[in-house]
Amino acid sequence: MIESDFILKDFEVLNVSNGSVTWKTPSNIALVKYWGKQEPQIPENTSISFTLDACFTLTNLEYTKKEKKSEDFNFEIFFEDKKKEAFKPKIQQFFQRIEQYVPFLKDYDFVIKSRNSFPHSSGIASSASGMSALALCIMSLEKELNPTISEEYFNKKASFLARLGSGSACRSIEGELIIWGNHSDIKGSSDLFGVKYPYEIHGNFKNYHDTILLVDEGEKQVSSTVGHQLMYNHPFAKQRFNQANNNISKILEVLQNGGLKEFIAIVESEALSLHAMMMTSNPYFILMKPNTLKIISKIWEFRAKTGSNICFTLDAGANVHVLFPEKEKEIVNNFIISELIQYCQENHYICDRIGQGAKQITI
Ligand code: DP6
166 lines ligand 1 (CB under 6 A): yes
pLDDT value for 126? 77
**pLDDT on residue 122:** 64
Give me the pLDDT at residue 272, please. Answer: 98
Q: What local confidence, expressed as pLDDT, does residue 184 receive? A: 95
The confidence score (pLDDT) of residue 12 equals 77
Contact 317, 287 (CB under 8 A): yes
Ligand 1 atom closest to the Cα of residue 131 is 7
Residue nearest to atom 5 of ligand 1 (CA): 167
Nearest atom in ligand 1 to 168's CA: 2
User: Which residues have C-beta within 8 Å of that of residue 354, sequence separation ≥ 6?
Assistant: 50, 51, 52, 53, 175, 176, 177, 205, 206, 207, 208, 209, 210
Does 114 sit in the ligand 1 pocket, CB within 6 Å?
A: no
Atom of ligand 1 nearest to the CA of 29: 17
For the chain, domains (ranges, CATH) are: 3-200 (3.30.230.10), 205-353 (3.30.70.890)
Interval between CA 11 and ligand 1 midpoint (Å): 33
| Closest-lying ligand 1 atom to the alpha carbon of residue 228 | 6
Ligand 1 centroid to Cα of residue 344, in Å, is 23
- Reduced to 3 states (helix: H, G, I; strand: E, B; else coil), residue 71 is coil
Nearest to 35 by CA among 168, 228, 172: 228
| Cβ 112 under 6 angstroms from ligand 1 | no
Distance 193 CA to ligand 1 centre (A): 14
What beta strand segments (E) does the chain contain?
18-32, 37-38, 42-43, 47-65, 74-79, 82-83, 108-116, 177-180, 194-196, 209-213, 311-313, 320-324, 349-353, 359-361
Residue 316 CA: nearest ligand 1 atom is 1
Q: Running along the chain, 363 residues long, what does each successive block of 10 average in pLDDT?
A: 89 84 97 97 98 97 93 96 93 97 96 90 77 98 94 98 97 98 96 97 97 85 89 97 98 98 98 98 96 98 98 95 98 98 95 97 87
Distance from residue 306's CA to the centre of ligand 1 (Å): 33
Task: Collapse the DSSP code of 362 into the 3-class scheme (helix H, G, I; strand E, B; otherwise coil) and give the result.
Answer: coil
What predicted TM-score, i.e. pTM, was given to this entire model? Answer: 0.96
- CA 34–ligand 1 middle distance (angstroms): 6
Q: 194: CA distance to ligand 1 center in Å?
A: 13
Rounded CA-CA distance 11/274 in Å is: 44
CB of 224 within 6 A of ligand 1: the answer is yes
- Ligand 1: nearest atom to the Cα of 33: 18
CA-based nearest residue to 32, from 189, 161, 152 = 189
Instruction: Please indicate whether residue 47, judged by its CB atom, sits closer than 6 Å to ligand 1.
Output: yes
